[in-house]
Amino acid sequence: MIDLSGKTALVTGGSRGIGRAVATTLAAAGAHVVIADRSDALRTDGASTSNLICAAGGTAESVLLDISDSEQVDAVFADVAGRSGIDILVNNAGVLSAGTVLDTTDDAWRSLFAVNVDGTFFCTRAAIRHMVDAGRGGKVVNVASISGLRANPGFAGYCAAKGAMVNFTRQVGIDYAPMGINVNGVAPGFVETDMTAIYDASIRGALEAQTPNGKWADPQHIADTVLFLASSLSDHICGEIVAVDGGWLVGTPVVPVIPVATAVSA
């Protein structure tokens, strides 16, 4: 069993979907979780992620943060580090918009990069600054996408932004490995969240049919992988991107297996 007792984990975009699953999973493993985004701390219905964690016996807090604002990021991270330190950072906050190059407006492009790329950079820089000062290592896990590892027709800006996240993860991973700071990424495939609600039933069926295990992921599948990368079990993994996609990247399109007896050699 993974034990994160005594660790503080900061999760961006933790109010719903993958982020909420990540936050609750890290808390269940014993970490004190700080949910940093633009909505969780504003909830008044008692259903914020931090409230759910505390109700389950864990410890958590929610703080307001626009990750595209570097000054806000530095201030929030300095406050958290000053109170409890930052042992784990999960860069989960992200935005999605569809469109080819000709369909993508300037504003859409800038928004994709402001959150997915700039926000990941600002938060990673702030966290690593405090991890280096503390001198006890740390874990950074970036939630990228399979769209950052291969082309996805009709998603020019999103693929570009997630691709930048992927190579950023690799670079920071090797830069800070000597200091005991593991920086890795998770590349989800299709996951049951509000972001994937853009697909109608026919498109979803086609996508599931092309996925080797025949189904989409649950947010918990992503959270479990993040938990592993945030733990000491991943101490020898640096700058890697783990695809959690039901075999999509390695198995699409799915080609029927040719019986050995009828196989033809070239």
List the structure tokens of 151.
Answer: 């082309």
Distance of alpha carbon 59 from alpha carbon 114, whole angstroms? 30
Average per-residue pLDDT for the chain: 92
The confidence band for 134, taking pLDDT boundaries of 50, 70 and 90, is: very high
The three-class DSSP label of residue 113 is: helix
What confidence score (pLDDT) does residue 1 get?
86
Closest alpha carbon to 142 in 182, 70, 77, 92: 92
First-to-last alpha carbon distance for the chain, in angstroms, is 49
Q: What stretches of 65-155 show up as alpha helix (H) in DSSP?
A: 70-84, 106-113, 120-134
What pLDDT, on a 0 to 100 scale, did the predictor assign at position 22? 98
Let me know how long the chain is.
Answer: 266
pLDDT at 254 over 60: no
Report the distance separating Cα 172 and Cα 42, nearest Å. 33
Quote the tokens at residue 119.
């926000």
Q: Is 158 a catalytic residue?
A: yes
**In 3-state terms, what secondary structure has residue 144?**
coil
The pTM is what?
0.92
Pick the more confident residue, 261 or 253: 253
Give pLDDT, residue 266: 41
Give me the residue label for tokens 């590892």.
Answer: 149
Task: Name which of 55-59, 65-69, 113-117, 258-262 the model is least confident about.
Answer: 258-262
Cα–Cα distance for residue pair 238/184, rounded to 1 Å: 6
In a 3-state reduction of DSSP, which class is residue 56?
coil
Across 77-93, b (16+ Cβ under 10 Å) vs e yields beebbeebbbbbbbbbb
Q: Please report which confidence band the pLDDT of residue 210 belongs to, taking 50, 70 and 90 as the band edges.
A: confident
How would residue 253 be classed by pLDDT, with cut points 50, 70 and 90?
Answer: low
Q: Is the pLDDT of residue 168 over 70?
A: yes
Helices (H) and strands (E) in the chain, counts: 9, 7
Whether residue 206 has pLDDT greater than 70: yes
Q: Which of 109, 122, 155, 158 is catalytic?
A: 158
pLDDT at site 256? 52
- Confidence tier at 193 by pLDDT (50, 70, 90): confident
